[in-house]
Structure 1
Amino acid sequence: MTGVAVIGIDHRHAYGMLGGMLDAGAIGIGWWTEGSPKTLDGFVKRYPDLPRVDDRHAILSDPNVDMVLISAIPSDRADLAIEAMHAGKDVMVDKPGCISQAQLDRIMAAQAETGRIWSVDFSEHFEVPAVAKAAELIADGQIGKVVQTVGLGPHRLNAPLRDPWFFDKTRYGGILADIGSHQIDQFLFFTGSETAEIAHACIANHNNPDHPGFDDFGEIVLRSPNGHGYIRLDWYTPDALPNWGDGRLTILGTEGYIELRKYIDVAGRDGTDHLFLVNKTRCEYIDCKDVPITYFRNLIQDIRDRTETAMKQSHAFEVTRLALLAQEMAGG
């Protein structure tokens, strides 16, 4: 049985990371975090029976822990992951996996030295049934060869609910390094690209003068031998929207296209995971909410068999590298 523990719950993605592993059959061992982040009450409410430990080294020395899940402050994730790998633990980290190329170089060196798994839970891909369905349709040839992705990543700011680190770029890394990594992951995945060129990257702060070091808008243009990509990110989700963001992905193929409305169909169908398919013979809506996701289940298999079925190690590194490069190109 695969045992998992959490180190750092500073971002709410910790909820989904742990929930996904438990739903896939892992056993929760315990959790540690520094202080009392604003995510604390929500985490305890969701996992009241999981014990909190006073010292993270108790987790690292526990032989029952196979994988450590890390959703600490982004600037701290590299050191925690390296520490865990050297302690013999596989690692799943929230995005961004790190916030500088120097940190990524150290992570790559530790992974090569230890042979442990360093996986990034790109939740807008791995936790979204509609993405799994799109991959199935594309593999079946429903839209021909994929030539472009357009990824839109709007987010709700909820400034009063954020800890101070959230607005400090030396701690959160910037909008392209952070939520841009979701969209880069999907571009590489759907176009079948191992790498890409950052043709354009920009950041801006249009609406948060009280936090001048915060990026509230960003965009990236990607290209590879296999296709093209456009990414738009923002923290402008309006109050009337009933969830955190109208995340969308359009996948253009030579014989059709797919649009994903991942979290909401504005003024349309209820629920999440809406997919629209248009090709030579089909123009239809597909409800994907019951499509199984496989990342967590495959990751448990990888921990056991030392395989790369959930995600290639090289992919995790390359997505992170490109996101960091885009942030640097845009002005840091």
Structure 2
Amino acid sequence: MTSTHAVRFAAVGLDHAHIFGQVAGLIRAGAEFVGMATDDPSAAIATRLREQYPDVPVAESPEELLGRDGIDLIVTAAVPDRRASIAITALRAGKDVVTDKPGCVSLEELEEIKKAVDQSGRFWSVTFSERFEVPSVMKAGELVREGKIGTVVQTIGIGPHRIGDRGHLGGGAGRPDWFYDKSRYGGILTDIASHQIDQFLWFTGARTAEVVASTVGNFANPDEPGLQDFGEILLRSENAQGYIRVDWYTPDGLGTWGDGRLMILGTDGYIELRKYVDIAGRDGGDHLFLVNQEGTQYIDCSKVQTTYYADLVRDVQERTTSAAPQEHTFETMRLALKAQQQATLRGAAK
């Protein structure tokens, strides 16, 4: 049933800095921010969000908001091991859910979320921000679908991060304790690599894939064995291959939190994205390089509009899943969890 009323949303779980982009994106898309709550009100991220939106009511507990009438959508960036329970409760209360990645930390949780989606008729969207919020990835999708590089046969996704990135700390002195507890954040492949799995499926058009091999390691932080600081995955679908590397090694000398790159190989050319920085090159981010039978082209994608949050608001109103098909989201998280589960351990990782 289509509705034209303004979408009302609440933020439940304010533990990761991605909540700032989620809330701002929904507001820009016309949604109304009507409440927030979290398990740890003293967390740096929660404190900063309250400062940014002082007029938004703060509930005493997440459960109070999850069951409240008059809220259409719940957005969460809770500690990863809390995201599934928040989502399931919200879905059963008749609310759509937008969750930071990873959307859950076990295959058992994923199955419970699937059941809640089926029973409620609501959607569960995971914010794979390295696609949804990156203009150059939007442009690359347009070029691929226009046939500029032929049929995509491989993607290589590189997702480096920095432990001490100020933007992700939200004003805090350092990463919280849960960041170093694998049972709470889910492991590096469940967490970071879910971005690159999403991009592999999307660019190759694959509905499913298999994890051929996966590895996690801790090579630089032996005093924190719960932190996996390196991970890699080899994926294969019926028509394409994918390689993923993620890590926590971004040096302080780089001017941003990570030199995220994506390479898309087609039968008639290739695209390379330098999402956040062109090292020793052009200023800013969202750099796209296209090479095909017609030549070599550089495209500045910084002004390309992203659509994820506008699509989400429309999905709530029109009962669609245009922001991301539900089965795609399920499969992305299944592959991330499967890769994590079967990964070979290296170094001090556990």
TM-score category of the 2 structures, normalised to the smaller one: over 0.9
Mapped to 2, the partners of 1:81 and 1:317 lie a distance apart of 14
Residues 38 and 162 in structure 1, CA contact (< 8 A), matched pair in contact too: no
2:307 corresponds to 1:294: yes
Mapped to 1, the partners of 2:63 and 2:338 lie a distance apart of 33
In structure 2, the residue matched to 1:127 is 133
TM-superposed CA distance for 1:284, in Å, is 1.3
What amino acid maps onto 2:198 in structure 1? Answer: D
In structure 1, the residue matched to 2:33 is 28
2:71 corresponds to 1:65: yes
In structure 1, the residue matched to 2:252 is 239
In structure 2, the residue matched to 1:210 is 223
Residues 29 and 64 in structure 1, CA contact (< 8 A), matched pair in contact too: no
2:102 corresponds to 1:96: yes
Mapped to 1, the partners of 2:37 and 2:210 lie a distance apart of 38
* 1:54-113 deviation line (CA, Å, top 9, x unaligned): 122332243331100011011111111000011111000111110011111111111111
2:153 corresponds to 1:140: no
* 1:267-293 deviation line (CA, Å, top 9, x unaligned): 111111111111111311111111111
Residues 214 and 339 in structure 2, CA contact (< 8 A), matched pair in contact too: yes
Residues 221 and 227 in structure 2, CA contact (< 8 A), matched pair in contact too: yes
The partner residue of 1:186 within 199, 202, 206 is 199
Unaligned 5+ runs, structure 2: 1-5, 166-172, 345-349
In structure 2, the residue matched to 1:81 is 87
Residues 274 and 287 in structure 1, CA contact (< 8 A), matched pair in contact too: yes
In structure 1, the residue matched to 2:169 is none
Moved over 6 A (4+): none
Task: Report the identity percentage.
Answer: 53
In structure 1, the residue matched to 2:233 is 220
Unaligned 5+ runs, structure 1: none
SS at the partner of 1:107?
A: helix
* 1:142-190 deviation line (CA, Å, top 9, x unaligned): 1111111000000001185211001001100000011110000000000
Mapped to 2, the partners of 1:322 and 1:66 lie a distance apart of 29
**After alignment, is 158-167 or 54-63 more displaced?**
54-63
* 1:201-250 deviation line (CA, Å, top 9, x unaligned): 00000011111121000000001112110000000000011111110001
In structure 2, the residue matched to 1:108 is 114
Residues 219 and 230 in structure 2, CA contact (< 8 A), matched pair in contact too: yes
TM-superposed CA distance for 1:51, in Å, is 2.5
The partner residue of 1:272 within 285, 306, 312 is 285
In structure 2, the residue matched to 1:9 is 14
**After alignment, is 235-244 or 282-291 more displaced?**
282-291
In structure 2, the residue matched to 1:254 is 267
What amino acid maps onto 1:9 in structure 2? Answer: L
Residues 38 and 161 in structure 1, CA contact (< 8 A), matched pair in contact too: no
Residues 15 and 46 in structure 1, CA contact (< 8 A), matched pair in contact too: no
Mapped to 1, the partners of 2:57 and 2:263 lie a distance apart of 42
2:307 corresponds to 1:307: no
CA RMSD of aligned residues (A): 1.3
In structure 2, the residue matched to 1:50 is 56
What amino acid maps onto 1:64 in structure 2? Answer: G
TM-superposed CA distance for 1:34, in Å, is 1.4
Residues 21 and 296 in structure 1, CA contact (< 8 A), matched pair in contact too: yes
In structure 1, the residue matched to 2:168 is none
Mapped to 2, the partners of 1:41 and 1:109 lie a distance apart of 34
In structure 1, the residue matched to 2:170 is none
**After alignment, is 121-130 or 44-53 more displaced?**
44-53
TM-superposed CA distance for 1:318, in Å, is 0.5
Mapped to 2, the partners of 1:96 and 1:238 lie a distance apart of 24
Residues 262 and 273 in structure 1, CA contact (< 8 A), matched pair in contact too: yes
Mapped to 2, the partners of 1:169 and 1:179 lie a distance apart of 13
**After alignment, is 169-178 or 36-45 more displaced?**
36-45
